């Protein structure tokens, strides 16, 4: 469509006058009827505002018109698109603008000279979300937008609350010398952004301590995102960490997927069971740790992230490095601030406090009356080796609470449940007997056969202890879930 002002040269003189009068009249009508109106020049500077627009100045943080007019529009009106209208020459006839002054229905129109060059733009505020200004045909639209905006804010608040930590360093129960030293180290590293490596057996409270370190630092208001590497199939780990670009492959979400690094931006990413990370992904993780940049799967765009890393493992990473199962450069990058959490058998003086805390939590979660322990029950607990550490202790206490009505648990009531979590390999009859590597007539078995039989015994014991939970069994055995499935499949094939 041609511009009436640009074609005025070929119109009679009275027609040109009419057009100019119409433009002037429309400008005056808009200035009177709109809630607010402004004019911006080619350099994006505000050159004029209507009397109605002056009412928005306090909400935008300005007391006087002179402090507002003459400033670049981008500096004084958050989320404006007037600069884009000027630069592109394309109008935005209707739009919703939200900033600290409120939510408004607005129009943005370019202004041109007789040669068609953009001189600036005019912006008009028609309605805001106030009930006094949403009468008529636009009321349903503004009401719907306002409702959706509130729902989005509520969803964001709930998501932020879910990503906050539940525990602090003080939540790590115990006052033994070993625990006090761990807490001292944790408090020192909490105030830094350096990478922390938590070492310790399964069930020693590594995730709790990771949350405590996050909560004790300057990133506490940011997200805490945890990833259990052992629980994610190897083929999905890269997408889980770095995200997926929209339409990166067949079946991918059109909107793409945000990776855990991006979700943890401004906060902490907790990498649990880091020893189970596949070698190819270790190289990519190392680059992210060094450069603080991620590249989603299927994308050529690099995105900056600001993430603090806390890693944890129950495996011997140094031995894995020596065996070639873990990259040495990644190990040194992670092992900046190592903290070793003590096993429960090394801090038995904390048993009483731990048991009381766990019994209180069990009662709160199950709705049962709070139980306590007799002296002989504590003595029984102190005699056990606790290979599953605090997780095993909680399991034994919860089973005892559920299976008795007594308010004081005795050794007799606990005896049945203590030691059922995981028999150590050396405690199994087959593993402990030298003859396990012998044939029926005393001949030495081939080493692969002997190893396979020992593995079968250990896997069976772990599955029994975990009630058939393969993920828990794999973690107990110190192998990945994929490796456990392979060994189970091989065992079935041999039996078949």
- Residue 8: predicted pLDDT: 47
Q: How far is 419 from 26, CA to CA, in rounded Å?
A: 87
- Which carries the bigger pLDDT value, residue 31 or residue 283? 283
Instruction: With cut-offs at 50, 70 and 90, classify the pLDDT of residue 157.
Output: low
The pLDDT tens digits for 115-124 are 889 999 999 9
Side-by-side strand order, sheet with 337-340: 224-228, 268-272, 308-313, 196-199, 337-340
Task: Evaluate if residue 338 carries a pLDDT over 80.
Answer: yes
- Residue range(s) occupied by CATH 3.30.450.20 in the chain: 34-145
- Residue 185: predicted pLDDT: 95
Instruction: With cut-offs at 50, 70 and 90, classify the pLDDT of residue 234.
Output: confident
The pLDDT tens digits for 378-396 are 999 999 989 999 999 999 9
- Residue 1: predicted pLDDT: 44
Q: Which two tokens stand for residue 398?
A: 């919860």
Instruction: With cut-offs at 50, 70 and 90, classify the pLDDT of residue 350.
Output: very high
- Residue 442: predicted pLDDT: 46
Give the mean pLDDT of 78-88: 89
404: closest CA among 70, 396, 98, 35? 396
pLDDT > 90 in the chain, percent: 40
DSSP 445: P
Lowest-pLDDT choice from 104-108, 392-396, 425-429: 425-429
Answer whether 229's CB lies under 8 Å from 273's CB. yes
Q: Which two tokens stand for residue 40?
A: 């911006």
- Which carries the bigger pLDDT value, residue 21 or residue 158? 21
Q: How far is 238 from 432, CA to CA, in rounded Å?
A: 41
The pLDDT tens digits for 450-467 are 777 788 888 887 787 776
Q: How far is 195 from 338, CA to CA, in rounded Å?
A: 9
- Residue 457: predicted pLDDT: 81
CATH architecture of the domain covering 169-340: 3-Layer(aba) Sandwich (3.40)
Q: Give the up-direction half-sphere exposure of residue 302: CA atoms within 13 A in the CB hemisphere.
A: 6
Mean pLDDT of the chain: 82
- Backbone phi, then psi, for 297, in 5-degree steps? -60, 130
State the Rg of the chain over Cα.
Answer: 34
Task: Please tell me the CATH code under which domain 344-415 is placed.
Answer: 1.10.8.60
Instruction: With cut-offs at 50, 70 and 90, classify the pLDDT of residue 135.
Output: very low
Q: How far is 294 from 133, CA to CA, in rounded Å?
A: 46
Task: Please tell me the CATH code under which domain 34-145 is placed.
Answer: 3.30.450.20
Give the mean pLDDT of 191-199: 94
- b/e code 321-342 from CB counts within 10 Å (16+ = b): beeeebbeebbebbeebebebb
> 427: left (phi > 0), else alpha (psi -120 to 50), else beta?
alpha
- Residue range(s) occupied by CATH 3.40.50.300 in the chain: 169-340
In CATH, 429-495 is 3.30.70.3270: no
Beta bridge partners of 39: 48, 122
Outline where DSSP puts E strands in 141-289: 196-199, 224-228, 268-272
Task: Evaluate if residue 99 carries a pLDDT over 60.
Answer: yes
Task: Evaluate if residue 345 carries a pLDDT over 80.
Answer: yes
Task: Evaluate if residue 303 carries a pLDDT over 80.
Answer: yes
Q: How far is 105 from 96, CA to CA, in rounded Å?
A: 5
- Residue 445: predicted pLDDT: 63
- Residue range(s) occupied by CATH 1.10.10.60 in the chain: 429-495
421: closest CA among 172, 206, 174, 202? 202
- Residue range(s) occupied by CATH 1.10.8.60 in the chain: 344-415
Task: Evaluate if residue 304 carries a pLDDT over 70.
Answer: yes
The pLDDT tens digits for 465-478 are 776 777 777 877 87
- Residue 114: predicted pLDDT: 80
- Residue 248: predicted pLDDT: 62
Instruction: With cut-offs at 50, 70 and 90, classify the pLDDT of residue 224.
Output: very high
> 479: left (phi > 0), else alpha (psi -120 to 50), else beta?
beta
- Which carries the bigger pLDDT value, residue 297 or residue 342? 342
Outline where DSSP puts E strands in 217-264: 224-228
31: closest CA among 42, 23, 19? 23
Task: Evaluate if residue 431 carries a pLDDT over 80.
Answer: no
Give the mean pLDDT of 338-344: 95
Task: Evaluate if residue 161 carries a pLDDT over 70.
Answer: no
Q: How far is 388 from 423, CA to CA, in rounded Å?
A: 10
Instruction: With cut-offs at 50, 70 and 90, classify the pLDDT of residue 314.
Output: very high
Beta strands 372-373; 408-409: pairing state: parallel
Outline where DSSP puts E strands in 280-428: 293-294, 303-304, 308-313, 337-340, 372-373, 408-409
């Amino acid at each position: 469509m041609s511009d009436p002002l640009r074609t005025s040269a070929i119109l009679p003189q009275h027609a040109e006058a009419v057009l100019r009068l119409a433009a002037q009249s429309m400008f005056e009508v808009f200035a009177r009827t709109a809630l607010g109106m402004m004019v911006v020049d080619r350099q994006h500077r505000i050159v004029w505002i209507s009397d109605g627009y002056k009412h928005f100045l306090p909400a935008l943080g300005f007391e006087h018109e002179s402090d507002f007019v003459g400033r670049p529009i981008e500096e004084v009106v958050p989320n404006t698109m007037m600069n884009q209208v000027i630069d592109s020459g394309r109008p935005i006839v209707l739009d919703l603008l939200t900033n600290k002054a409120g939510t408004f229905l607005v129009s943005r129109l370019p202004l041109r000279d007789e040669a068609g060059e953009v001189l600036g733009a005019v912006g008009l505020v028609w309605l805001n979300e106030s009930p006094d200004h949403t009468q008529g045909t636009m009321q349903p639209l503004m009401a719907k937008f306002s409702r959706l905006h509130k729902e989005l804010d509520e969803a964001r608040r709930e998501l932020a609350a879910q990503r906050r930590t539940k525990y602090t360093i003080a939540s790590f129960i115990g006052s033994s010398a070993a625990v006090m030293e761990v807490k001292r180290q944790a408090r020192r590293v909490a105030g830094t952004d350096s990478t922390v490596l938590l070492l310790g057996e399964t069930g020693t409270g590594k995730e709790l301590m990771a949350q405590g370190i996050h909560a004790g630092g300057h990133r506490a208001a940011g997200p805490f995102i945890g990833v259990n590497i052992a629980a994610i199939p190897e083929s999905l780990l890269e997408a889980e960490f770095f995200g997926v670009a929209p339409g990166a492959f067949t079946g991918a979400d059109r909107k793409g997927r945000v990776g855990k690094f991006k979700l943890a931006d401004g906060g902490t990413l907790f990498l649990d069971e880091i020893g189970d990370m596949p070698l190819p992904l270790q190289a990519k993780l190392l680059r992210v740790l060094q450069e603080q940049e991620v590249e989603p799967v299927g994308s050529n765009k690099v995105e900056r992230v600001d993430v603090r890393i806390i890693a944890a493992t129950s495996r011997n990473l140094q031995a894995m490095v020596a065996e070639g199962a873990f990259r040495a450069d990644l190990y040194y990058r992670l092992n900046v601030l190592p903290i070793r959490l003590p096993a429960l058998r090394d801090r038995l003086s904390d048993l009483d406090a731990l048991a009381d805390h766990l019994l209180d939590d069990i009662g709160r979660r199950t709705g049962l009356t709070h139980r306590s322990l007799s002296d002989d029950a504590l003595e029984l607990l102190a005699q056990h080796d606790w290979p599953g550490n605090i997780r095993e202790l909680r399991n034994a206490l919860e089973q005892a609470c559920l299976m008795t009505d007594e308010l004081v648990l005795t050794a007799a009531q606990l005896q049945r449940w203590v030691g059922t979590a995981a028999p150590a390999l050396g405690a199994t009859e087959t593993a402990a007997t030298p003859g396990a590597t012998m044939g029926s007539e005393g001949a030495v078995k081939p080493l692969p056969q002997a190893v396979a039989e020992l593995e079968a015994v250990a896997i069976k014991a772990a599955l029994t202890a975990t009630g058939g939970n393969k993920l828990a069994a794999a973690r107990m055995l110190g192998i990945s879930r994929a490796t456990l499935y392979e060994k189970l499949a091989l065992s079935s094939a041999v039996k078949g």
